[in-house]
Structure 1
Amino acid sequence: MPDMPNLLMIEDDARLAQMVGEYLQKSGFGITHAADGRAGLALLDPPPATGLPDLVILDLMLPDMDGLEVCRRLRALPHEASRVPVLMLTAKGDPLDRVIGLELGADDYLPKPFEPRELLARIRAVLRRRGESAPAANRVMRFGSLEIDRDARTVALAGRPCELTSYQFDLLAALAERAGRVLTRDQIMEAVRGRELEAFDRSIDVHMGRIRAAIEDDAKNPRRILTVRGVGYVFAKQQD
C-alpha cells in the first residue's frame, strides 16, 4: 500500500464530503471528491494517468443514479478499475440495501450517521486486507483447474480470470489455505482480519454466493465451497 493511499469519495452532500475529506487528509489520506455517480465513474473509466484510487467511498443515495448502480457499473468495467475496493455509505436502515450492495460487489458498508473514526477504521481494514501478502509457500494455490495467486491477487478457472472483489478474494484465499477444515462464519471473518467491528451477519453468505458464481461450474450445486449446515463452510481439498 502506498505511503499516502488515495481515496475517491462519491457523495452529493458537499458539507459531509468536506468534513470527511478534511478528517481523512489529517489521517494521512489523499482524497478526491465527486458529487454524483457519473462524475465518480468518469474518474475511474478510463483509468486516469495518475493511477486509480486505492478505495472508493460510495454513497447509496446520489442525485443522478443510486450507489448500487454505480457499484454495478464499476464492477462491470473491462479493466483494473473493476477491482478497486468499495465502501458503501447508506442512510437507509433496511438490511436488504446492504445485502444488495454486497451482492453487487461492495467490500464493506457503513450506515449513516457515522463517526469519522469508524469510517477511518473500516477504510484501514479494507486496505489492510487488500495489502496483506501471503507466506511464500502459499503464493500460488492450485486446486485442479482453479488457481489462486496471492501475490497477484487473481483467481483463474481453467485459465479464465474470475472477477472477485478485494474482500471476496481474501475470503476465498482464507478458505483455500484451510482446505478440508470446516470454518464457522466467525472463524472466516477472523481469518481475513480487519473485522473487529461488528459484521453484518448475512454478509459472509452473500459473499460466498458471489464467490461460488465466479469459481463454480454450477453455483447451485457447488463442488469447491461446500456449506456445512448449522456450522459454516469448507473448501474441498479434492477438486476436478
Structure 2
Amino acid sequence: MGKKTASRIASLEDAPADAALIRQVVASAGFECVSFGESRRLLLALRDAGFDLLLLDWQMPDLSGREVLAWVRTHLDRRIPVMFLSCRDAEHDIVSALAAGADDYMVKPIRPAELAARIEALLRRAYPAQASPHAPLRLGDYAFDCALRKVTCNGQPIGLTPKEFDLAVLLFRHEGRIVTRDHITAAVWGREISPMSRTIDTHVSRVRSKLGLQAEHGMRLTPVYTHGYRLERMAHAERAAA
C-alpha cells in the first residue's frame, strides 16, 4: 500500500509571528499546514481543496472567524473539526464559539505542546478509521477488510487490483470531501505522476465501474474539475429519481 499522507490543516491567522508558530507546531506534529492571512482567501481555498482540520483566529481584517465557521458548517462536511485560537478569553465568547459548532477553543498565547496535543486529539476523534490503516471500513452497502485487503458489496466479493483497492479505501475514508489529485498520487502511488498522465483517471474509472458507484448503491463518485474527486452518499430522493 502507498505511504500514509499527513493530514492537511488550514490555519487562519493574520499575525505573521503567530502564523509562523502555528506552522512550526503543526509541522513538528507531523502534519501539513497551509496559512491564510485573510478569511476570504481561506474560503476560496476551501471550495477547491480538502483540509482535515481548521484552526481559526476570531478577529480577522475581513470576515471574522465566527463568520468563517458559519460558512464551513453550512457548506462543508460537518465532521471537519474546527478549533479557535484567539485572544478573546471571555467565557461568553468561548461558549458562543462552541455553541456555533467549534470543536475546541484555545486562548492565546499559544502553548505549542498543548496545541499539538489538541490537534492530534481532534483528528483522532474526527477520523477514527485513520488511526489504524488496517481498521475495517463500512459505508452504505460496502465493507472493506483492510487487513485482508478485500471488499464486498452487499456481501458479494469484488475483485480489485492492489492500486484500485488503495484508491477505493482512500475515497471511502474521505467520503463527502474532495480528494485532490496530489493526495491520491502520494497516498496510492507514493510518487509524482505527470499531470498529462491518465493513470489516475483510468484507475478512478475502474473503481467506479467495479464497485458500481451509482444510485443503486446510494453512492456517487464525481470529478471536481482540475482538483480531484469526491465520493458522496446520495439522498433517498436522488436515488429514487436516478
TM-score w.r.t. length of structure 1: 0.51
User: Quick one: percent identity of the two aligned structures?
Assistant: 31
* Alignment correspondent of 1:96: 92
Mapping of residues 48-87 of structure 1, within 5 Å: 48=49, 52-77=50-75, 79-80=76-77, 82-87=78-83
Provide Cα deviations, 1:97-154, integer angstroms capped at 9, x if missing partner. Answer: 1111112211111111121111101000000111224x98x999xxxxxxxxxx9899
User: Per the alignment, in what secondary structure is the counterpart of residue 76 of structure 1?
Assistant: helix
Higher helix content, 1 or 2: 2
What code does the residue aligned with 2:33 have? I
- Deviation, 1:23, is 2.8
User: Per the alignment, in what secondary structure is the counterpart of residue 124 of structure 1?
Assistant: helix
Change (3 A) 1:139 1:53: closer
Mapping of residues 1-240 of structure 1, within 5 Å: 2-45=4-47, 47-48=48-49, 52-77=50-75, 79-80=76-77, 82-133=78-129
Deviates further, 14-23 or 4-13:
14-23
Change (3 A) 1:99 1:126: same
Q: Unpaired runs of 5+ in structure 2?
A: 130-134, 141-171, 176-242
1:11/1:33 contact within 8 Å kept: yes
1:68/1:100 contact within 8 Å kept: no
- Deviation, 1:26, is 2.5
2:10/2:34 contact within 8 Å kept: yes
User: Per the alignment, in what secondary structure is the counterpart of residue 83 of structure 1?
Assistant: coil
- Deviation, 1:22, is 2.0
What code does the residue aligned with 2:53 have? L
Instruction: Show structure 1 runs of 4+ deviating over 4 A.
Output: 151-154
Aligned residues between the structures: 138
Deviates further, 33-42 or 16-25:
16-25
TM-score w.r.t. length of structure 2: 0.51
2:25/2:115 contact within 8 Å kept: no
User: Per the alignment, in what secondary structure is the counterpart of residue 9 of structure 2?
Assistant: strand
The two structures, once aligned, show a CA RMSD in angstroms of 2.9
What code does the residue aligned with 2:97 have? G
Considering Cα pairs closer than 8 Å and 6+ residues apart, tell me whether 1 or 2 has the greater RCO.
2
Q: Distance in 2 between matches of 1:97 and 1:30?
A: 29
What code does the residue aligned with 1:124 have? E
